Amino acid sequence: MTMRILARLLQVFGTNKTSWVGLGIFAAICAMALLAPWIAGSDPLEQDIIAKLRPPSGEHWFGTDEFGRDVYARLVWGARISLSVSISAISLALVVGGTIGLVSGYVGGRFDMLVMQAMDVILSFPALILGLIIVALLGPSQTNLIVAIALTAMAPFARIARAPTLIVKERQFVEAGRALGFGHARIIFVHVLPNILSEVLVMASLWMATAVRVEASLSFIGLGVRPPTPTWGGMIRDGFENILDAPWLCIYPGLAILALIFSLNMLGDGLRDATDPKLRGE
């Protein structure tokens, strides 16, 4: 069954240039984050007041910030936060949202209706505001950030998981006599999952882009992961105060955020163009 999923993945990726480019950039950023200890050069937390607010040079590729910390090193390490928060949040959203969708679709009736309406309400809230409220209530920390983003991203995954459950339910009525207890789980895994795989991938990519954006925005507002941990949004926030003297403090993290979000959007968009049956036909 893994082979079938892999084959489907390749088929979906194969023809689409956009998704390859997006995947490439994303992979490069991931590699950068993973290899941080080796490629960062200097310690991102190490302060050197004498060398503060230096422009980019041979020694400090992207310059230094107001505490003399190397911007390049902070950028490389900052990737870890952006990636770990977004990947964790979306994985959580996928699992929780998917489960809710499966259960809701299976139980059906009033319960299903109520749950889906709740999902719609969540979906109609701007992700940033919802994240803002939750983090303000629970306090800023990496975990809360992940939970906040996961909560806003749950809804679309619930929808995706629910649709095939409804179809499977129909079939169950037909085969009522022969269905064994574990038949349900088998059917879901073997038949349903490969079909919704492409939809899930598209949603996951696009919502990861949103997650990165929300994390960066919240860090910029001051509700992200606490300093001195380097985050891209936080770097911009600090750099904003010195924007007149040291524009590089905002430029490089800004470009990094743009690159990551753009790559994820390209990936999601490319995948969607490749797999949406309506768009494929022409």
Partner 1 sequence: MLWYVAKRLLAAMPTLVAVLTVVFVIVRIIPGDPALTVLGDQATPQALAALREKLGIDKPLLAQYLDFISAALTGDLGRSLVSGRPVINEVVAVLPHTLDLTISSLVLGTVLGVPLGVWAALRRNRLADYVIRIVSLVGLSFPVFVSGIFLLMVFALHYRLFPVIGTANLSDLGDRTWKLVLPTITLGLVMVAYITRVTRSAMLQVLSEDYVRTARAKGVPARLVIRRHALRNALIPVVTVVGLYLGINIGNSVLTEIVFNRPGLGKVIVTALNQRDYAMLQGLMVIYCFLIVVTNLLTDLAYGLIDPRVKQA
- Residues making contact with partner 1 (CB under 8 A): 124, 126-129, 132-133, 136-137, 209, 213, 216-217, 220-221, 233, 236, 240, 243-244, 247, 250-251, 254, 257-258, 261-262, 265-266, 269, 282
In which element (H, E) is residue 281 found?
A: none
Tokens of 262: 């753009």
Nearer to partner 1, 28 or 258 (CB): 258
Structure tokens at 189: 């895994």
Listed residue (211, 216, 198) closest to 270, CA to CA = 198
Q: How far is the CB of 261 from partner 1 (least distance, A)?
A: 4
Identity of the residue, 29 or 266, whose beta carbon is nearer to partner 1 in the bound complex: 266
Lookup: tokens for 238: 């600090």
User: How near is the Cβ of 243 to partner 1 at its closest, in Å?
Assistant: 7
In order of 37, 88, 90, the CA distances from 147 in angstroms are 27, 9, 10
Distance (Å, whole) CA 6 – CA 257? 30
Provide the minimum distance between the beta carbon of 11 and partner 1 in the complex, in angstroms, as a whole number. Answer: 21
Reading the block at residue 44, the tokens are 């991102």
Give whichever of 25 and 168 is closer to partner 1, judged by the CB atom.
25
First to last CA, the chain: 31
In this structure, are residues 250 and 257 in contact, taking their beta carbons and an 8 Å threshold?
A: no
As measured in angstroms, the least distance from the Cβ of 119 to partner 1 is 15
Give the whole-angstrom CA distance, residue 173 versus residue 183: 13
- Take residue 260 and report the two structure tokens written for it: 């990551």
Q: Minimal distance in Å, beta carbon 42 to partner 1? A: 25
- Identify which of residues 102 and 208 has a Cβ nearer to partner 1 in the complex: 208
Nearer to partner 1, 102 or 203 (CB): 203
Of the two residues 1 and 244, which places its CB atom closer to partner 1 in the complex?
244
- Please state, in angstroms and rounded to a whole number, the distance separating the CA atoms of residues 3 and 17: 23
CB of 136 to partner 1, least distance (A): 5
